Chains A and B, each alone.
Chain A
Amino acid sequence: MPDSPASRPSDDAILCRGVVKRYDSFPALRGVDLRVQRGEVVCIVGPSGGGKSSLLRTLNALEPIDGGSIVIDGVHLPGSRADITRIRRDVGMVFQSFNLFPHMTVRRNVALAPMRARGMPRQAAEARAERLLARVGIADQIDKYPEQLSGGQQQRVAIARALAMEPRIMLFGEPTSALDPEMVNEVLEAMRELTRTGMTMVIVTHELGFAREVADRIVFMAEGTIAVDAPPSEFFAASGDSRLAAFLAKVL
């Protein structure tokens, strides 16, 4: 490896150590340790207010952390502005509320970031957008505006938009929670397809069946800490944590 050993320390895509996050005085994360290896798919589940979303948002520095450290693909957080930009360009994020840009066509939504953040020529960026939109099954909607699409279609555009930056890690924040039930599957199918490409993925979700199917590990968060971190086969059998037992009893 030509780089210094510090910049490529391991196979870890994500390494969190003792991460603390407070909102005013409320501790959303109280010392989270999490390790995600390259190519791993990790699902985070748990009751709301348990810190799942906060953790996800610290991973691309949408929320600055108040303690501990995070290493994303060799770049450390807290870090400089340049480090943060680098992380954001290499980490894709899909939000619960899609957050597509409403004043732009689907094509432009997907092509914009490669042009502005990677200096890609417009034609190449739009060609990439077409390819990615075909991949998530909505090539025929490319000239429409987000408001003309269903929720499921919008979320698939959002996935394509994140993929357009060719990220090495994809973060999903409850990507199906805002969808009508009949649209959940089309989004899960797009994500399922992504897991087969070997993409490193961290998924906050309430879809336990999906988590069981695609995850290499399932992480249960409650009260700002990781209470259980296990492969699916062990996760659902884990009765050691009373909070997990209570959670599973409620949602299963």
Chain B
Amino acid sequence: MGFDGGIILRHLPELSAGLRLTLLLAVVALLVGTALGFFGCLGKLLGRGLLFWIASIYVTVMRGVPEMVVMFWIYYCGPLVLGAKLSSFAAAATAMSLFAGAHLAEIFRAGILAVPRGQSEAARALGLPIFSQWVEIVLPQALRMMIPPFIGLVTLVIKISGLASAIGVAELVYEASIVSGQTYRYFELFSAVGVLYFLIIFPLSLTAQRYERVLARRSR
């Protein structure tokens, strides 16, 4: 049983449809997750009382429960708890957004806390308005430090999007299993899927690495 590259080419339409859905899932999860992460970070850094606890519980729970369990839970238990059944895509996107949001909240928070205390002290000592302290002094420095872990999370979100196949989202892994189930060509199809993921993720990792080196040089 040799490797038949032709099978990949013949099923390229299915694979590219799957890839499109994989990327769509990742983009939605990162966009919604960025908003969730923003509020989660704000709640943990500046929140008092209830807001702080909501943010902390959200972040802790979502980082402590396997992604797949969250996805299954939303898809299968959602109807019981919320009284509404989400489509498999909506359930997967929700679970991935919650996952990304919790991790981004921590990435944002770590970035802000990594800005030396002396920076905000100098800004305050100069009498800069609070808006300027944040927007001109703290955040530009924090954002730079957030870039490598942010890219890391982007690659992670793309990788876990494959889990959505388990609840029937026709993304890359799902399409590959359907096609290989019909053709018994697991070898070719899952090799192709691996290469596709790698081609997306590897350049991102390279960018993060390169940027980390820039940061290391800057901080002397």
Contacts and interface: CB of A to CB of B under 8 A. Distances in A.
A116 B130 CA distance: 10
Interface in B119-166: 119, 121-129, 132, 136-137, 140-141, 144
Contact of A165 (B116, B126, B140): B126
Interface stretch (A9-17, A95-103, A195-203, A212-220): A95-103
A62 interface: yes
B145 to A, nearest CB: 11
B218 interface: yes
B10 interface: no
Contacts of A91: 125
A161 interface: yes
Contacts of A30: none
Contact of A95 (B121, B132, B137): B121
Contacts of A189: none
Given A95-B118, A117-B129, A103 B141 contact: yes
Contacts of A99: 116, 118-119, 121-122
B140 A62 contact: no
Most buried by A among B126, B132, B141: B126
B121 A62 contact: yes
B118 A62 contact: no
B122 A60 contact: no
Interface string A154-173: 00000001100100000000
A89 interface: yes
B220 interface: yes
Given A97-B118, A99-B119, A103-B140, A62 B124 contact: yes
Contacts of A117: 126-129
A116 to B, nearest CB: 5
Interface string A181-213: 000000000000000000000000000000000
Contacts of B140: 103
Contacts of A60: 125
With a 10 A CB-CB cut-off, give which of A60, A93, A102, A162 has the most chain B CB atoms: A102
B141 A88 contact: no
| Most chain A beta-carbon contacts within 10 A, residue among B128, B132, B136, B220 | B128
A100 B137 CA distance: 10
Nearest to A96: B118
Interface residues of B, number: 20
A60 B129 CA distance: 15
A137 B103 CA distance: 48
B126 A88 contact: yes
A154 to B, nearest CB: 12
B137 to A, nearest CB: 6
Contacts of B127: 85, 88-89, 113, 117, 165
A117 B218 CA distance: 29
A112 interface: yes
Contacts of B132: 112, 116
Interface string B180-219: 0000000000000000000000000000000000000010
Nearest to B217: A147
Contact of B122 (A85, A89, A101, A165): A101
Interface in A95-122: 95, 97, 99-103, 112-113, 116-117
Contacts of A116: 128-129, 132, 136
A14 to B, nearest CB: 16
The winner among B118, B121, B125 for most chain A CB atoms within 10 A is B125
Contacts of B125: 60, 62, 88, 91-93, 95, 162
A73 B201 CA distance: 60
27 contacts: A60-B125, A62-B125, A88-B125, A88-B126, A91-B125, A93-B122, A93-B125, A95-B125, A99-B118, A99-B119, A99-B121, A100-B122, A101-B119, A102-B141, A112-B128, A112-B132, A112-B136, A113-B126, A113-B127, A113-B128, A116-B132, A117-B126, A117-B127, A117-B128, A147-B218, A161-B126, A165-B126
Closest 8 CB pairs of A and B: A89-B127, A99-B122, A99-B118, A88-B127, A113-B126, A93-B125, A117-B127, A116-B132
Interface of A: 60, 62, 85, 88-89, 91-93, 95, 97, 99-103, 112-113, 116-117, 147, 161-162, 165
